C-alpha cells in the first residue's frame, strides 16, 4: 500500500510522523468506542433523515431534473452538508460498516452525480436560469467551500474503497479540473470567503498524484491577504483576506475559516517543501493557543462574527466556541503534529476531543451543541425533537440547525477517529491519544492498549508480536508525576526501545487527581476565578447538583477533592437581596456552605435545563 492509499484523512508527502489508517488503529472499548457505535447506529441516520426532510439532498434531484431554482431549500452552503455526510459514511464504511451503509452511500452519490453539469460544475445554488451566475458571490456564496467538501468526501472514499465504481472520485476530479481552469495561473485571481477548497485540493492531489491540485491549493493559500474579496462590516480579517498567511501573527477572524486555512497551509508547506511557511504557521498556532483559546480547547470568543477575539478576550458566558471551530483546530494541530512530532499539538487535540467534540453530541447521537459556552446563566428549554433551530438559540443540545455544519462535522470526525490515535516512524510506534484498542501496523508491529482512561490514569500497552522497535507514549503537559513502568517521566513522549517478546507490557500511570487551574490574570472575564480539571477533562458546576442557580456560589479554597472517579467541592451560596447595591467597602456575608458534586463539562446539560459554570469565583 502506498502512503497516498492509507485509509486516513491526512496523508502528507513528508513529515516526522506517518499516520496510521483505520485498518491499522482500531478503538475497541471505552468512551470513544461507545461514541463510534452511536455515530454509526444513530447519528449518521439522523443526519440522512434531516438532509432529506430539510430538502438539502433533494436539491440535487431538482438540479438533475432542471427544476431549479424553484423548490430549492436551505442556505447557500447546504450542499456541503451532504458532502460531509458522504465523507462520514465513507469513513464508517472503511471502519467496517454494513452493506446497508454501502447502499445508502451509493444511492446518495448517484443523486449528486446526476446534478453535475457537462463542464464539471456542481452546485445547486448558482449558475442556472433564475439563479445568480457562477462565482458571482465569492464572499458569501460558498461555491468553492462546497466543492472542497465534495473533494474531501471523494478522498475518503478513494482511501477506504480504492477502485470503487460508485463514481464519486470521478465527479470530484471533474470539479477540481474546473476549479483549476477557472482560478488557476493566468485565470481569475480570487479566493473563497470560506477556506475549504484548499484542503480538498491538497488531499486530492495526494490521492491522484496530480500536482495541479497541489499547486492550486498553494495558489489559493498565497492569495489570502491580497484583498481580492470585498471589505465587510467585520473587516477582511473575517475571511483572512487582510494579511498574507505567512505574515500573520495569530489566527483571527471567523474561527472555522481561520483554522481550515491554517490546516491547508500546513498541507501546502509540507507538499511544496516550504519551511518558512511551516514556521509561520507554528508561530501563529503558539500565540493562538497561548492567548485566544479556552481551557476546553474551544476557540471563538464572539457571537457576532463567530470569530476569535483579541488576545485574552475569552468571556465564559458569551463564548461562542463553535463545535466546528474545535474540529477545525484539531485538523490544524494534527497536521502540525505529523510535521514536527511535538507533543504540544497532541495535548491540544486531547483537550478538544474530551471538552468540545465529546461535549457537543448527546449520548443518543441525535442532538448537538453548536456553540459551547463555559457559563450558562439561564436554564433555557428543551427543543422539540423535530425542530430546526438557529445556530446558538438554545441552551441545550438541539436536533438540527438551520446552519447545520456541526452535526455533519461531528459525524465525519468520530467515524475517522481511529486514525488520530497513533503514528509510526522507521523506529516504531507513537501513541498520542489513549483509548482501549488495537494497533496493527503495516510494518508488523502489533499492540493492544488496555485502559479505562480518562476515568483512571493507568494505560497498559501489551506487545502482541515480537520485534525490535520503539514505543513512544505521550505524557500530557498536565501530567506531572507520571510514571512509566514505575519510573518518573516528564511531559512529552516517554520512549522505550528494546527487543520485545509477545506478552510484554509497558505501563504508563498518569495522575488523574482533581487539580485547580488558575487563568492568566490578563483574561479579564475570569480574573479571581479558577477551573477544576481531572486528567484531560474540564469539570463544571451545574445547578442540578448544587440545588440552586450556580451564579450565587463561590468556591471554598482547598475544598476540591476526589470522590471515587468524580469530583466534589464546598461552596458558599448566598441569596442576594434584589434591592441591594452590589458595591461596598466590606465583603457581604459569606452565605450557606454546601458540598456539591461537579460534572465533566462534556456531560453538562444531559439532565435537563440547568445553569452551569466552568470558572468558579474563590471565596475570600
Query: What is the bridge-based pairing of β-strands 422-424 and 592-597?
Result: unpaired
For 434-490, write each residue's pLDDT tens digit. Answer: 999 999 999 999 999 999 999 999 999 999 999 999 999 999 999 999 999 999 999
pLDDT per position as a tens digit, 518-565:
999 999 999 999 999 999 999 999 999 999 999 999 999 999 999 999
pLDDT tier for residue 391 given thresholds of 50, 70 and 90: confident
Q: Provide the residue ranges of all domains of the chain, joining segments of one domain with +.
A: 10-223, 236-360, 422-509, 514-617
Measured distance between the N- and C-terminal CA atoms of the chain, rounded to whole angstroms = 63
* Residue 358: predicted pLDDT: 98
Query: Residues 6 or more apart from 543 whose CB is under 8 A from it?
Result: 379, 549, 550, 610, 611, 612
Which of 199, 45, 163 has the alpha carbon at shortest distance from 108?
A: 45
| Per-residue pLDDT reduced to its tens digit, 145-193 | 999 999 999 999 999 999 999 999 999 999 999 999 999 999 999 999 9
| pLDDT for residue 579 | 72
The hierarchical CATH code for the domain 422-509 is 2.60.420
Examine the pLDDT at 393 and tell me if it is beyond 70: no
Tell me what the mean pLDDT of segment 270-276 comes to. Answer: 98
Whether residue 326 has pLDDT greater than 80: yes
Q: Which band of pLDDT confidence, cut at 50, 70 and 90, is reported for residue 587? A: confident
> Closest Cα partner for 453 from 467, 472, 436?
436
> Pick from 204, 404, 223, 372: which is nearest to 295 by CA?
372
SS3 559: coil
> Per-residue confidence at 582, pLDDT binned at 50, 70, 90?
confident
- Backbone φ, ψ for residue 599 (5° rounding): -130, 140
Q: Give the Cβ contact number of residue 548 at 10 Å.
A: 15
Q: Check residue 3 and give its pLDDT.
A: 60
Average pLDDT over residues 490-503: 98
Residues 16 and 445: their CA atoms lie apart, in Å, by 18
* Range 199-216 average pLDDT: 98
* pLDDT score recorded for residue 428: 98
How much is the pTM? 0.97
Q: What is the grid cell recorded at 278?
A: 511551516
Interval 108-151: pLDDT, tens = 999 999 999 999 999 999 999 999 999 999 999 999 999 999 99
- Mean residue pLDDT of the chain comes to 96
Q: Which residues contact 200 (CB under 8 A, 6 or more apart)?
A: 147, 148, 149, 150, 151, 152, 155, 172, 176
Q: Report residue 385's pLDDT band, with 50, 70 and 90 as the boundaries.
A: confident
- Please tell me the predicted confidence (pLDDT) of residue 5: 76
| Pair 411, 401: CB distance under 8 Å | no
- Calculate what percentage of the chain has a pLDDT beyond 90: 93
pLDDT of res. 1? 47
Amino acid at each position: 500500500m502506498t502512503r497516498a492509499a492509507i485509509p486516513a484523512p491526512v496523508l502528507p508527502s513528508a513529515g516526522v510522523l506517518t499516520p496510521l489508517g483505520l485498518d491499522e488503529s482500531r478503538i475497541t472499548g471505552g468512551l470513544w468506542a461507545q461514541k463510534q457505535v452511536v455515530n454509526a447506529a444513530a447519528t449518521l441516520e439522523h443526519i440522512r433523515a434531516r438532509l432529506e426532510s430539510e430538502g438539502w439532498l433533494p436539491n440535487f434531484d431538482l438540479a438533475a431534473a432542471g427544476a431549479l431554482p424553484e423548490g430549492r431549500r436551505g442556505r447557500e452552503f447546504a450542499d456541503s452538508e451532504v458532502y460531509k455526510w458522504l465523507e462520514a459514511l465513507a469513513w464508517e464504511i472503511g471502519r467496517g460498516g454494513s452493506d446497508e451503509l454501502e447502499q445508502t452511500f451509493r444511492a446518495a452519490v448517484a443523486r449528486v452525480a446526476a446534478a453535475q453539469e457537462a463542464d464539471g460544475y456542481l452546485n445547486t445554488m448558482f449558475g442556472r436560469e433564475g439563479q445568480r451566475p457562477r462565482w458571482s458571490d465569492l464572499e458569501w456564496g460558498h461555491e468553492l467551500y462546497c466543492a472542497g467538501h465534495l473533494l474531501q468526501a471523494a478522498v475518503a472514499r478513494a482511501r477506504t474503497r480504492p477502485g470503487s465504481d460508485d463514481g464519486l472520485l470521478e465527479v470530484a476530479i471533474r470539479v477540481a479540473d474546473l476549479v483549476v481552469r477557472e482560478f488557476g495561473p493566468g485565470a481569475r485571481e480570487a479566493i473563497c470567503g470560506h477556506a475549504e477548497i484548499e484542503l480538498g485540493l491538497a488531499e486530492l492531489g495526494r490521492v491522484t498524484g496530480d500536482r495541479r491540485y497541489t499547486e492550486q491549493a498553494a495558489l489559493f493559500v498565497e492569495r489570502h491577504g491580497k484583498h481580492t474579496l470585498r471589505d465587510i462590516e467585520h473587516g477582511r480579517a473575517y475571511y483572512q483576506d487582510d494579511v498574507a498567511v505567512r505574515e500573520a501573527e495569530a489566527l483571527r477572524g471567523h474561527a472555522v475559516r481561520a483554522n481550515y486555512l491554517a490546516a491547508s497551509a500546513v498541507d501546502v508547506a509540507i507538499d511544496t517543501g516550504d519551511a518558512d511557511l511551516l514556521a509561520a504557521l507554528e508561530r501563529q498556532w503558539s500565540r493562538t493557543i497561548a492567548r485566544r483559546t479556552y481551557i476546553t480547547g474551544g476557540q471563538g470568543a464572539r457571537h457576532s462574527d463567530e470569530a476569535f477575539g483579541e488576545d485574552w478576550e475569552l468571556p465564559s458566558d458569551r463564548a461562542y466556541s463553535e463545535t466546528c471551530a474545535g474540529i477545525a483546530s484539531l485538523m490544524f494541530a494534527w497536521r502540525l503534529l505529523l510535521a514536527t512530532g511535538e507533543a504540544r499539538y497532541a495535548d491540544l487535540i486531547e483537550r478538544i476531543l474530551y471538552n468540545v467534540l465529546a461535549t457537543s453530541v448527546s449520548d443518543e447521537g441525535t442532538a448537538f451543541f453548536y456553540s459551547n459556552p463555559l457559563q450558562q446563566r439561564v436554564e433555557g428549554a428543551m427543543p422539540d425533537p423535530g425542530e430546526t433551530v438557529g445556530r446558538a438559540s438554545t441552551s441545550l443540545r438541539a436536533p438540527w440547525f438551520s446552519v447545520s455544519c456541526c452535526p455533519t462535522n461531528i459525524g465525519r470526525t468520530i467515524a475517522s477517529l481511529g486514525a488520530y490515535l497513533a503514528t509510526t516512524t522507521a523506529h516504531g510506534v507513537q501513541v498520542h491519544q489513549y483509548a482501549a484498542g488495537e494497533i496493527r501496523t503495516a510494518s508488523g508491529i502489533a499492540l493492544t492498549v488496555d485502559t479505562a482512561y480518562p476515568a483512571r490514569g493507568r494505560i497498559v500497552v501489551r506487545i502482541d508480536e515480537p520485534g525490535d522497535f520503539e514505543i513512544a507514549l505521550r505524557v500530557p503537559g498536565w501530567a506531572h508525576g507520571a510514571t512509566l513502568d514505575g519510573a518518573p517521566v516528564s511531559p512529552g513522549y516517554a520512549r522505550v526501545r528494546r527487543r520485545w517478546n509477545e506478552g510484554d507490557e509497558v505501563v504508563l500511570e498518569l495522575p488523574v487527581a482533581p487539580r485547580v487551574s488558575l487563568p492568566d490574570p490578563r483574561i479579564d472575564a475570569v480574573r479571581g476565578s479558577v477551573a477544576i480539571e481531572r486528567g484531560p477533562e474540564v469539570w463544571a458546576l451545574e445547578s442540578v447538583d448544587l440545588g440552586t442557580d450556580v451564579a450565587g456560589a463561590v468556591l471554598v479554597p482547598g475544598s476540591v477533592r476526589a470522590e471515587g472517579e468524580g469530583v466534589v467541592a464546598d461552596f458558599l451560596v448566598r441569596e442576594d437581596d434584589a434591592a441591594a447595591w452590589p458595591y461596598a467597602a466590606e465583603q457581604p456575608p459569606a452565605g450557606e456552605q454546601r458540598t456539591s458534586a461537579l460534572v465533566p463539562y462534556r456531560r453538562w446539560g444531559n439532565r435537563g435545563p440547568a445553569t452551569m459554570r466552568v470558572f468558579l469565583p474563590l471565596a475570600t
